[in-house]
Amino acid sequence: EVQLVESGGGLVQPGGSLKLSCAASGFTFSSHWMHWVRQAPGKGLMWVSRIKSDGSSATYADSVKGRFTISRDNVKNTLYLQMNSLRAEDTAVYYCAGALYYFDFAYWGQGTLVTASS
Amino acid sequence: QTVVTQEPSFSVSPGGTVTLTCGLSSGSVSTDYFPSWYQQTPGQAPRTLIYSTNTRSSGVPDRFSGSILGNKAALTITGAQADDESDYYCVLYMGSGIWVFGGGTKLTVL
């Protein structure tokens, strides 16, 4: 059974940093592109970032570019999101998602809540 | 900045058929955008329904189908059931490693 389990969310002051983790199991993690998707309270889904299977390439939404960094450890089967210079508008549930055929979001975690507030 | 458009809300009668659409603020959606569709109920993670325009995800009933209709991607639900009442999101691949979600459609079954 595929499982994605996010952790690392919490309350952080604006301007602060936080690092999210997503532990993967039940599939060959190292073969799949992975994404972070977020959802602000009461709002829709927003794509945040993608990393290719070997970690060679990462892309970001404009709103997080230069502040967030996606990475992965294919030995530990874990995806990360380093979030710096957090803003109130970054407050959201952050989901990790795995692609099955490159352009989809086949597998989803249950999400972790990040709250940027003073 | 290209916006992905969805109907904010839709209603369907039990047993009825509904088609939700996914368009672009500028231009037409084609299979090159690899449209996919997700169902989400409050407090839950999204569930994958359709990927690559019209391929059903494992375990998704064939009441759900995807297509291109005119210049938009479409999700059709036939024989709507009460537990289809959810939020539905499409996402398009914009090229250069960028994806954009639509704003979502809140589907009511009544």
d(CA A30, CA B72): 34
How do A10-12 and A112-116 pair as beta strands?
parallel
First to last CA, chain A: 40
Q: What average pLDDT does the segment A54-72 reach?
A: 97
pLDDT digits (tens, 9 = 90+) for B39-89: 999 999 999 999 999 999 999 999 999 999 999 999 999 999 999 999 999
- Tens of pLDDT along B4-39? 999 999 999 999 999 999 999 999 999 999 999 999
- Per the listing, tokens 């391929």 go with B55
Cross-chain Cβ contact A45/B46 below 8 Å: yes
- What pLDDT was estimated at residue B78? 98
Q: Which residues of chain B neighbour A46 with C-beta distances below 8 Å? A: 101
CA A106 to chain centre: 15
Q: Under an 8 A CB cutoff, do A59 and B40 touch?
A: no
Task: Find the mean pLDDT for residues A95-110.
Answer: 94
Confidence band, pLDDT 50/70/90 cuts, at residue A15: very high
For strand B105-109 and strand B9-12, is the pairing parallel, antiparallel, or unpaired? parallel
* A46, A57, A62 member nearest B101 (Cβ): A46
Read off φ and ψ for residue B56, nearest 5 degrees.
-75, 135
| Token representation of residue A31 | 């073969």
pLDDT of amino acid A101? 85
List, in order, residues 6 or more apart from B58 with CB less than 8 Å away: none
Is A57–B48 a contact, with Cβ atoms under 8 angstroms apart? no
Q: Is the pLDDT of residue A12 over 90?
A: yes
For residues A36 and A17, give the distance between their C-alpha atoms in angstroms, rounded to a whole number: 17
Contact status, residue A108 vs residue B46, Cβ threshold 8 Å: yes
Proportion of chain A above pLDDT 90, given as a percent: 97
pLDDT in the model for residue A25:
97
**Average pLDDT over every residue of A96-112:** 94
Alpha carbon distance A85, A75 (integer Å): 29
| Side-chain-facing half-sphere of B87: CA atoms under 13 Å | 18
**pLDDT tens for residues A37-56?**
999 999 999 999 999 999 99
